[in-house]
Amino acid sequence: MPAAGTDDGGLRRVDVALGERAYPVLIGPGARHRLARVLADIGARKVAVVTARPEEWLPPTGLETLVVHAEDGESGKSLARVEEWCRTFAAWGLSRADAVVSCGGGTTTDAVGLTAALYHRGIPVVHLPTSLLAQVDASVGGKTAVNLPEGKNLVGAYWQPRAVLCDTDYLTTLPARERVNGYGEIARCHFIGAGDLRRLPLEEQIAASVARKASVVAADERDDGLRHILNYGHTLGHALERATDFRLRHGEAVAIGTVFAGRLAGALGRIGPGRVAEHEEVVAHYGLPTALPPGIPVATLVALMRLDKKATTSLAFVLDGPRGAELVRDIPQRTVAETLDAMPRAVAEGP
Ligand code: GLY
């Protein structure tokens, strides 16, 4: 796994090793100020910055710059928005010799990433993720997407950024619930080979999570096998997001899904009771919910999980086991329903 080193300015640096398309992820306070250097290295002549944050949050680019305002949120992840941005870029004369920058949460980096993949059949993109969730997961690895009315992330492309600048100064402004939400993806790293990150400073937790993701993406960029492990806790997590109409946030839902994954692995005899309990301890340590929200029937959750992309003819989950986390198919629906039934229930939704 690529360890997080430090670069010449003291920022933590993780490289996503993809040959000619390799790129750095720089992590730490003030990382955004590397943007001008990154854009100069790309050789961009001018740059369009799509931002869901105020203009004061943007670092100097050193280039002629067009600022396009956006909003975070699933409703902004649409093909209509991609078309709007492409038309704005075209009207401004942006070319393949230029670059695009995204600044915002994961929904913004996803949609801007897809726009960059499509505009002129692909233009360099640099991400400035501003939420913890986007820094540890969404902005790294090249998955870009927008939603359709029929479902989330149904239209997308793999388009790797040229650099990701995870400025931890941005995180100091996050509301408490949004910060805890980001820990959902850090908590699941404990079970996919990143080790115990609980006692590390935030910057090192981010760097270790990114390093684990970078090693998985370098081995399986197109999600043909190993990359599935990044979806630890996500099968139930996605079902919970949908069942609560997205009132439960992604990281919160993944946290509950992680506790469930531990219990299911235990029920299938893949791990012992100590390791099952560790799932709940780790999730609780980060202040995340460990119990199912009230009022959602087990049958509804099972039906939603059957829609998961990993479920072909039967239910499939990424589960811990003697060989570490792996995708396990053909899990009997009855075992899944019984394990869900045995989960504690919260009295209210959310943390
Ligand atoms: N967020 C999961 C992945 O990037 O594959």
Q: 251: Cβ below 6 Å to ligand 1?
A: no
Angle at 34 between CA 33 and CA 40, to 5 degrees: 125
Q: Parallel, antiparallel, or unpaired for β 143-148 and 326-331?
A: unpaired
Contact by Cβ (8 Å): 27, 4: yes
Residues β-bridged to residue 299:
none
Sorting pLDDT into bands at 50, 70 and 90, what band is 74?
Answer: confident
Yes or no: is domain 5-177 CATH 3.50.50.60? no
Beta strands (DSSP E) in the chain are 5-6, 12-16, 23-28, 46-51, 64-69, 99-104, 125-129, 143-148, 151-158, 163-167, 315-319, 326-331
* In the predicted structure, residue 308 carries a pLDDT above the cut 80: no
* In the predicted structure, residue 1 carries a pLDDT above the cut 80: no
Mean predicted confidence (pLDDT) in 81-105: 98
Sorting pLDDT into bands at 50, 70 and 90, what band is 214?
Answer: very high
At 4 the pLDDT is 72
The rounded distance, in Å, linking the Cα atoms of 49 and 230 is 29
3-state secondary structure of 329: strand
Q: What's the Cα-to-Cα distance from 185 to each of 146, 208, 233, 252, 335, rounded to whole Å? A: 20, 12, 9, 9, 26
Sorting pLDDT into bands at 50, 70 and 90, what band is 311?
Answer: low
At 5 the pLDDT is 85
At 347 the pLDDT is 80
CA of 155 to the centre of ligand 1 (A): 15
Average pLDDT, the chain: 94
CA of 237 to the centre of ligand 1 (A): 14
For helices 250-267 and 176-189, what crossing angle results, to 10°?
Answer: 30
Pocket probe for ligand 1: among 230, 238, 310, the residue whose CB has the most ligand atoms within 8 Å is 230
Ligand 1 atom index nearest CA of 140? 4
pLDDT tens for each residue of 120-173: 999 999 999 999 999 999 999 999 999 998 888 899 999 999 999 999 999 998
CB atoms within 10 A of CB 332: 12
- Per-residue burial over 176-215, b = 16 or more CB atoms within 10 Å of its CB, e = otherwise: eebbbbbbbbbbbbbbbebeebeeeebbebbbbbbbbbbb
The protein residue whose alpha carbon is closest to atom 3 in ligand 1 is 230
CA of 216 to the centre of ligand 1 (A): 10
Q: How many CA atoms lie within 13 A of 274 on its CB side?
A: 0
Ligand 1 atom index nearest CA of 137? 1
Residue indicated by tokens 């460990």: 290
Mean predicted confidence (pLDDT) in 275-282: 98
Q: Is the whole model's pTM more than 0.85, yes or no?
A: yes
Sorting pLDDT into bands at 50, 70 and 90, what band is 49?
Answer: very high
CA of 37 to the centre of ligand 1 (A): 28
The rounded distance, in Å, linking the Cα atoms of 279 and 277 is 5
76 contacts: CB under 8 Å, gap ≥ 6: 52, 70, 107, 108, 111
Amino acid found at 302: V
Ligand 1 atom index nearest CA of 185? 1
First to last CA, the chain: 32
Question: Is the model more confident about 232 or about 4?
Answer: 232
213, containing H or E segment: helix 202-219
The protein residue whose alpha carbon is closest to atom 2 in ligand 1 is 230
Lowest-pLDDT choice from 5-19, 162-176, 307-321: 307-321
CA of 182 to the centre of ligand 1 (A): 14
Q: 137: Cβ below 6 Å to ligand 1?
A: yes
The rounded distance, in Å, linking the Cα atoms of 115 and 343 is 41
CA of 45 to the centre of ligand 1 (A): 31
Mean predicted confidence (pLDDT) in 179-208: 96
Q: 141: Cβ below 6 Å to ligand 1?
A: yes
Q: 143: Cβ below 6 Å to ligand 1?
A: yes
Q: 98: Cβ below 6 Å to ligand 1?
A: no
CB atoms within 10 A of CB 80: 9
CA of 91 to the centre of ligand 1 (A): 33
Q: 227: Cβ below 6 Å to ligand 1?
A: yes
CB atoms within 10 A of CB 148: 13
Ligand 1 atom index nearest CA of 142? 4
At 103 the pLDDT is 98
CATH fit for domain 232-342, picks 3.40.50.10190, 3.30.70.100, 1.20.1090.10, 3.30.70.580: 1.20.1090.10
The rounded distance, in Å, linking the Cα atoms of 76 and 69 is 11
At 2 the pLDDT is 53
Going from N- to C-terminal start, the domains of the chain cover 5-177, 232-342
